[in-house]
């Protein structure tokens, strides 16, 4: 089973690329941000617990996110593969993820990072915010906060998978199609 982590700062294009990869390789796509936004919309206890942190650009708790992922892994053991988009985002999440996969006789296949400079991701998120209506896309301060959180808590997750020989970083500044091509080449060369 292919377990692909799409990695990179907010606004680097993970969601867009995940949708294209899902169709091409017949994979499932799990976006933890999307799951959480759906929970908030539904008014569930889980959503209520996550809403404040998400809207300010902070991370929600590792326990909450890992609980969602653990259930997802157990429910989808017969899939061809899964694209993880927005997870793992901290070292404790990565350690827990490795354990949960192992308990289901699986492991991370590849982590592919989209490298996009800060100025460009900020611009992309501002543009997206006009259409998406996402609360966390609306102010430059919150966007900057998310980038700071990425640098302080998330970027190190790349080292965790680099140590396992699974980390590949690609230029994410080309067109959607060019970036997609780079990702496909990386997947095809390593699976």
- Give the residues lining the site for ligand ADP (CB under 6 A): 10-11, 31-33, 36, 53-54, 57-60, 65, 86-87, 89, 93, 136, 146
Nearer to ligand ADP by Cβ, of 58 and 100: the residue is 58
CB burial of 156-173 (b: ≥16 within 10 Å; e: otherwise) equals ebbebbeeeebbbebebe
**Nearest distance from C-beta of residue 50 to ligand ADP, angstroms:** 7
Work out how close the CB of 189 gets to ligand ADP at its nearest, in angstroms, rounded to a whole number.
26
Which helix (H) or strand (E) element contains residue 107? none
Q: Which C-beta is closer to ligand ADP: that of 71 or that of 191?
A: 71
Q: Which is nearer to ligand ADP, 17 or 93 (CB)?
A: 93
Q: Which residue is nearest to ligand ADP (CB)?
A: 33
Specify the residue, 89 or 160, whose C-beta has the smaller distance to ligand ADP: 89
CB of 88 to ligand ADP, least distance (A): 6
Q: 74 vs 188, which CB is nearer to ligand ADP? A: 74
Nearest distance, CB of residue 63 and ligand ADP, angstroms: 10
CB atoms within 10 A of CB 19: 14
Helices (H), the chain: 14-25, 32-42, 45-56, 62-75, 91-103, 118-132, 140-149, 157-163, 176-190
Supply 113's token pair: 């990072």
d(CA 107, CA 99): 9
Smallest gap from Cβ 188 to ligand ADP, in A, equals 25
Alpha carbon of residue 131 to chain centroid:
20
């Amino acid at each position: 089973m292919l377990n692909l982590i799409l990695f990179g700062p907010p606004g680097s294009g993970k969601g867009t690329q995940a949708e294209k990869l899902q169709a091409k390789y017949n994979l499932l796509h799990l976006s933890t941000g999307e799951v959480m936004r759906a929970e908030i919309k539904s008014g569930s206890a889980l959503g209520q617990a996550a809403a404040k942190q998400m809207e300010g650009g902070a991370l929600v708790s590792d326990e909450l996110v890992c609980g969602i992922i653990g259930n997802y892994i157990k429910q989808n053991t017969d899939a061809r593969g899964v694209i993880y988009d927005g997870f793992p985002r901290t070292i404790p999440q990565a350690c827990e993820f490795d354990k949960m996969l192992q308990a289901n006789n699986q492991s991370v296949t590849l982590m592919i990072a989209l490298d996009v400079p800060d100025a460009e991701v900020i611009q992309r998120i501002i543009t997206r915010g006009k259409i998406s209506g996402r609360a966390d896309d609306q102010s430059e301060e919150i966007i900057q906060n998310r980038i700071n959180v990425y640098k302080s808590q998330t970027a190190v997750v790349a080292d965790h998978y680099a140590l396992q020989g699974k980390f590949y970083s690609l230029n994410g500044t080309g067109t959607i199609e060019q970036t997609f091509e780079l990702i496909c080449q990386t997947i095809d060369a390593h699976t």
